[in-house]
């Protein structure tokens, strides 16, 4: 796509300004928006409500591009995982998880990550760069392409929910994430309502309030430990923003209510954070916050310094949290046959490419 500008990821105002610069009226931007985000068109020639000459002019200057799938895997349980490649060759993962009553798309916000959480595979990769708004929106569009879900259906969607829980820390790339979320929520386009969008953070406290005010999406906190001592180790960001500050930010999160609870994610690590005493401490910690607790069985990866808690420990933990009045669903592991741990597919792919390169070098002598 040399020399042409991708329109995906421009805000409505930016799209209008772009078209104004080539002499088109503002309502053209609205028509184009509809073609791009509601109909999923990638070819200007197909945009039949626009005059032919105008379509040709657009095609000369712009494209409507999404990331391409460098790899695509489908699990026996229906989970699909894509390694998406962006225009500069960088890659990030995107996962679709179909369930009885919904279909959730897990999107990435960065290539790599800076946080080095000890149980997270992406944590072993260095941060390469932030994704821009178009690359974040592009993940949703690429998934819609693969699911055959254009134009944006009103009901019976396979893609109903979006979670910013893929690679990266969304609140360390706030501007791009915010812009992308506005586009994803737009009712004349992809039209995923804010009630069905969840942003997950390891706890970038200074950005949490702004996220609630400006985006009003659901908030998920990767908690994983109930003492600063342990959380400092598992989620090193805790040293910067310790538990008390994080929970204060949750208590004042704009729009949190019993109808819109904050989700606390808690990865179950055998013998590390899974005791009944820790379950009771968790309940005390979140007292007064409209909350639910997602218990996530640890997804193992080669060389990981942890194991998943056994089923009985998870159940006992869940019972204690539940008895205190908090929903505490245990997340069923999904897609274990397709490199489930976040970041694993990307690492595998880098390894493959490296071995391919070595083989070629060997062949070349
Ligand atoms: N940086 C953000 C979003 C990415 S992580 C955050 O920390 O929330 C998304 C979720 O996946 C987090 O709750 C994280 O703790 C969890 N996670 C990462 N690696 C995991 C693994 N190997 N097994 C289970 N959950 C994992």
Contact assessment for residue 34 and residue 42, using Cβ atoms and an 8 Å cutoff? no
State in Å: Cα 193 to ligand 1 middle.
Answer: 23
pLDDT score at 255: 85
pLDDT for res 133: 98
Best mutation site among 92, 110, 119 for ligand 1 pocket (most ligand atoms within 8 Å of CB) = 119
Q: What per-residue confidence (pLDDT) applies to 256?
A: 87
Residues with active-site annotation: 93, 342
Among candidate residues 299, 318, 328, 315, the one with its CA nearest the CA of residue 95: 299
Pocket test for ligand 1, best of 107, 162, 200 (most atoms within 8 A of CB): 200
Q: Which helix (H) or strand (E) holds 80?
A: strand 80-85
Over the range 142-166, which residues count as b (16 or more CB within 10 Å of their CB) and which as e?
bbbebbebeebeeeebbbbbbbbbb
Does the bond joining 128 to the residue before it have cis omega, within 30 degrees of 0?
Answer: no
**Strand, helix or coil at 36?**
helix
Give the CA radius of gyration of the chain: 22
pLDDT of residue 365: 60
Strand-pair category, 161-164 with 129-130: unpaired
Ligand 1 neighbours, Cβ below 6 Å, are: 119-121, 165, 169, 200-202, 222, 265, 267, 296, 298-299, 341-342
Q: How crowded is the C-beta side of 22, counted as CA atoms within 13 Å?
A: 17
Per-residue confidence in pLDDT tens, the chain, 365 aa: 567 999 999 999 999 999 999 999 999 999 999 999 999 999 999 999 999 999 999 999 999 999 999 999 999 999 999 999 999 999 999 999 999 999 999 999 999 999 999 999 988 888 889 999 999 999 999 999 999 999 999 889 999 999 999 999 999 999 999 999 999 999 999 999 999 999 999 999 999 999 999 999 999 999 999 999 999 999 999 999 999 999 999 999 988 888 899 999 999 999 999 999 999 999 999 999 999 999 999 999 889 999 999 999 999 999 999 999 999 999 888 888 877 677 777 877 777 666 666 666 676 66
Whole-model pTM above 0.85? Answer: yes
Confidence at residue 135, expressed as pLDDT on a 0 to 100 scale:
98
Q: pLDDT value at position 345?
A: 79
Contact between 8 and 134 (Cβ < 8 Å): yes
Nearest CA, atom 24, ligand 1? 298
């Amino acid at each position: 796509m040399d020399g042409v500008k991708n329109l995906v990821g421009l805000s409505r105002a930016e799209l209008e300004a772009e078209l104004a610069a080539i002499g088109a009226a503002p309502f053209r931007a609205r028509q184009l928006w509809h073609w791009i985000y509601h109909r999923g068109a990638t070819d200007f020639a197909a945009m039949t409500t626009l005059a032919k000459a105008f379509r040709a002019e657009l095609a000369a200057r712009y494209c409507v591009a999404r990331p391409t799938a460098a790899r695509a895997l489908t699990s026996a349980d229906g989970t699909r995982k894509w390694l998406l490649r962006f225009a500069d060759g960088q890659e990030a993962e995107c996962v679709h998880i179909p369930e009885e009553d919904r279909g959730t798309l897990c999107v990435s916000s960065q290539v790599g990550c800076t946080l080095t959480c000890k149980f997270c595979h992406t944590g072993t990769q260095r941060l390469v760069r932030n994704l821009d708004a178009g690359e974040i929106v592009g993940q949703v569009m690429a998934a819609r392409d693969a699911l055959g879900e254009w134009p944006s259906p009103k009901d019976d969607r396979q893609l109903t929910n979006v979670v910013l829980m893929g690679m990266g820390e969304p609140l360390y790339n706030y501007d791009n994430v915010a812009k992308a979320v506005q586009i994803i929520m737009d009712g004349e386009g992809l039209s995923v309502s804010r009630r069905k969008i969840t942003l997950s953070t390891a706890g970038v406290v200074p950005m949490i309030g702004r996220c609630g005010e400006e985006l009003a999406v659901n908030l998920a906190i990767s908690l994983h430990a109930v003492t600063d001592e342990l959380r400092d180790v598992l989620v090193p960001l805790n040293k910067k923003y310790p538990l008390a500050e994080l929970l204060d930010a949750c208590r004042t999160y704009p729009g949190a209510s019993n109808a819109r609870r904050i989700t606390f994610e808690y990865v179950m690590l055998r013998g590390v954070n899974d005791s009944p005493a820790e379950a009771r401490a968790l309940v005390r910690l979140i007292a007064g916050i409209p909350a639910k607790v997602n218990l996530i069985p640890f997804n193992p990866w080669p060389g990981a310094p942890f194991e998943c808690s056994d089923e009985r420990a998870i159940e006992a933990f869940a019972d204690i949290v539940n008895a205190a009045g908090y929903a505490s669903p245990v997340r069923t592991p999904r897609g274990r046959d397709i490199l489930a741990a976040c970041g694993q597919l990307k690492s595998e792919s880098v390894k493959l490419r490296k071995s391919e390169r070595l083989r070629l070098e060997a062949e070349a002598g």
